[in-house]
Structure 1
Amino acid sequence: MTRDAEATRRRLLRAATEEFAAYGIAGARVDRIAAAAQSNKAQIYHYFGSKDGLFDAVFDAMCRETVNAVPIDPTDLPGYAGRLFDSFEARPWMQRLATWYRLERAGTGTLLPVVVESNAAKIEAVAAAQRDGLLPTRFTAAELLGLVLHLSGFWSSNTPEFDARLDARLGDDTTGRRRQVVTEAVAALLG
């Protein structure tokens, strides 16, 4: 029987995504990841070098998937925000991983190329739309993109108590209303 190295690597990434989303980098355990992936700890170190390397691979894969699945359209930032919201709804672990990343990687000096490149491309797309008169210039391109990104993830950053209060008022279609709030807030931001 031949071993499929790529299948093992994918299983490790899937298991690590769940583990890191639940426990962060410091709390994650490579033995649990290996067991969930039906592999062993040695494979984690073989493929990723360390637990930190595995987290970076998980975060990199998540970012690439999001960039590919939700390309920016600077001429329709409300629509872009809505598609990002949809992506967060479909993959709720994304915001958890991003939160752990911010908490545990801030100040390390290590920047993931996919995130740096994606942000630079998005900022330039927004700046080009501003230069062409398609977007307001009240905020810099980076500020405007940051506001759009944060509004897109607004609902996943609330406390459960805040969500419960709002959801009681939203009725049966909380997801639809939440998406509408995101897109309308971005539209209002653009004036």
Structure 2
Amino acid sequence: MPELPTTARGIATRRRILDAAAVEFAQVGLAGARMDRILDAAEGNKARLYAYFGSKEGLFDAVISDRVDTSTDTVPFDVDDLPGWAVGLYDQNLRHPELARLIAWTRLERSPTGRWFDSTRHEHKLTAITQAQAAGRLRAGDPTDLLVLLISMASAWSPASSVYTATLDEPAADHERRRTLLRESVARAVAPETGEPLTF
């Protein structure tokens, strides 16, 4: 069982390893990553790396979890503004494309099936969606399916896309056009089946 650091120095070392590993894994994936490059970039040592993460696979899992947590904390979920939340994810993918790349590598190298995100991290979102559906504010259906759809829509221009990858150096008007399309599309997708479409 990997150990958690208990000192400020240990926490800082673990953070440097996670950050260096995120860059390495995002660029070359799990199979292509080299622990010596990660250690050189993190200015760490092999003993600490394996004590904290156990293995290269354990480090990869920790990086994915860390980046998902960071994204979750950066883009707060608001069930009453799902279009705004989706746009926030679009912007997060622009600023930090490594998470989408890491997810793409996970898909390529591990071929996951079924739900492969940590449900405990998303439980409050699923609960909020269920409550909003019961109140008639969102379309009916499986909350997980709805959440997966919204994340996929927000990631349509991310490095996980099979069609187009947006970057920060593109014209601002291009990003605004996509945000508008995303916001309007999500509003329609989550609107109740009866009555007027939701406005946000």
**Common fold by TM > 0.5:** yes
The share of aligned pairs that are identical, in percent, is 42
Counterpart Cα distance in 1 of 2:97 and 2:37:
21
For 1:151, the equivalent position in structure 2 comes to 153
CA contact (8 A) 2:155 2:161 kept: no
The CA deviation at 1:108 is 8.9
CA contact (8 A) 1:130 1:136 kept: yes
Counterpart Cα distance in 2 of 1:159 and 1:106:
16
Please give the secondary structure, in 1, of the residue aligned with 2:24. helix
Please give the secondary structure, in 1, of the residue aligned with 2:136. coil
Please give the secondary structure, in 1, of the residue aligned with 2:157. helix
* Counterpart check, 1:125 vs 2:128: yes
CA contact (8 A) 1:21 1:96 kept: yes
C-alpha distance 107-145 of structure 1, shift in aligned 2 (>3 A): closer
CA RMSD of aligned residues (A): 2.7
The CA deviation at 1:49 is 0.8
CA contact (8 A) 1:74 1:126 kept: yes
Q: Which amino acid aligns with 1:119?
A: H
Q: Deviations over 1:81-130 (max 9, x none)?
A: 11111111110111001112233334599x66xx2212332222111100
CA contact (8 A) 1:44 1:51 kept: no
- Point out the more displaced range, 78-87 or 13-22: 78-87
Q: Which amino acid aligns with 2:80?
A: T
1:8-157 equivalence runs, <5 A: 8-107=13-112, 115-137=118-140, 139-156=141-158, 157=160
Aligned residues: 181
C-alpha distance 172-121 of structure 1, shift in aligned 2 (>3 A): closer
Counterpart Cα distance in 1 of 2:111 and 2:127:
24
Counterpart Cα distance in 1 of 2:171 and 2:29:
33
Provide TM-score, normalisation by structure 2.
Answer: 0.80
Which is helix-richer, 1 or 2? 1
Q: Which amino acid aligns with 2:99?
A: M
What runs of 5+ residues in structure 1 fail to find an aligned partner?
A: 165-169
Counterpart Cα distance in 2 of 1:129 and 1:148:
15
Provide TM-score, normalisation by structure 1.
Answer: 0.83
C-alpha distance 185-108 of structure 1, shift in aligned 2 (>3 A): closer
What runs of 5+ residues in structure 2 fail to find an aligned partner?
A: 1-6, 192-196
The CA deviation at 1:41 is 2.6
The CA deviation at 1:158 is 3.3
C-alpha distance 80-48 of structure 1, shift in aligned 2 (>3 A): same
